[in-house]
């Protein structure tokens, strides 16, 4: 599975994240309200975001999200944990500028990512913090179903959502 294709829609364009994207992406991420419900609610702080950005680059699956109308940076997302044997991949670490909240941009971004992923996998998972109501509603709006919980390596619990490829 190609983890960093260029994906283009009417509202958004996703392209591989590059080191030179740091300043533009941090200009979006420094808004504390973006992270208010997130388990990493301090991600707006420079040192915390710098580590998030470093991990995103190292993941090999991170995207910069651009507004298709004007080319402005509006957020980031990524594929992670592709398991070819289980035919599964995760979509996560998504955030958008508050100016682009409300569903249309996120829905198109996720549709583009799902369409690409389902060429290679049968199941896409999303891990969301239990208290992150905004993100939970967002994945439910795109058709994800709750499928249990999972604890990550740091001991943080997440709600697992899934979408399965239609046969």
Encode pLDDT of 123-167 as tens digits: 999 999 898 898 999 999 999 999 999 997 778 899 999 999 987
Superfamily designation of domain 7-122: Gcn5-related N-acetyltransferase (GNAT) (3.40.630.30)
Give 23-69 pLDDT, tens digit per residue. 999 999 999 999 998 888 999 999 999 999 999 999 999 999 999 99
Q: Mean pLDDT lowest for which of 72-76, 112-116, 155-159?
A: 155-159
Strands 88-96 and 123-128: parallel
Domain ranges for the chain: 7-122
Distance CA 162, CA 143 (A): 8
- By CB atoms closer than 10 A (0-12, 13-18, 19+), residue 110 is buried
* Tokens (6 digits) for 143: 């058709």
Query: Using a CB cutoff of 8 Å and minimum separation of 24, what contacts does 131-139 make?
Result: 131/37, 131/39, 132/37, 132/38, 132/39, 133/37, 134/37, 134/101, 135/37, 135/38, 135/94, 136/161, 138/103, 138/106, 139/110
What mean pLDDT, rounded, does the chain reach? 95
What pTM, to 2 d.p., does this model score?
0.94
Under 8 Å between Cβ of 125 and 88: yes
Contact between residue 160 and residue 127 where contact means Cβ atoms under 8 Å apart: yes
Nearest Cα to Cα of residue 76 among 62, 89, 90, 60? 62
């Amino acid at each position: 599975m190609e983890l960093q294709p260029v994906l283009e829609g009417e509202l958004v364009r996703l392209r591989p994240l590059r080191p030179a994207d740091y300043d533009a992406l941090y200009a979006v991420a420094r808004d504390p309200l973006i992270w208010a419900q997130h388990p990493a609610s301090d991600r707006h702080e420079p040192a915390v975001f710098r580590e998030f950005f470093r991990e995103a680059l190292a993941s090999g699956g991170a995207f910069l999200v651009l507004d298709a109308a004007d080319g402005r940076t509006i957020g980031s997302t990524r594929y992670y944990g592709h398991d070819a044997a289980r035919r599964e991949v995760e979509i996560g670490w998504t955030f958008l500028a508050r100016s682009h909240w409300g569903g249309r941009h996120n829905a198109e971004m996720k549709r583009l990512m799902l369409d690409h992923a389902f060429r290679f996998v049968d199941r896409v998972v999303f891990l969301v913090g239990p208290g992150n109501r905004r993100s939970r509603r967002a994945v439910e709006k795109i058709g994800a179903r709750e499928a249990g919980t999972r604890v990550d390596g740091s001991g943080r619990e997440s709600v697992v959502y899934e979408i399965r490829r239609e046969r």
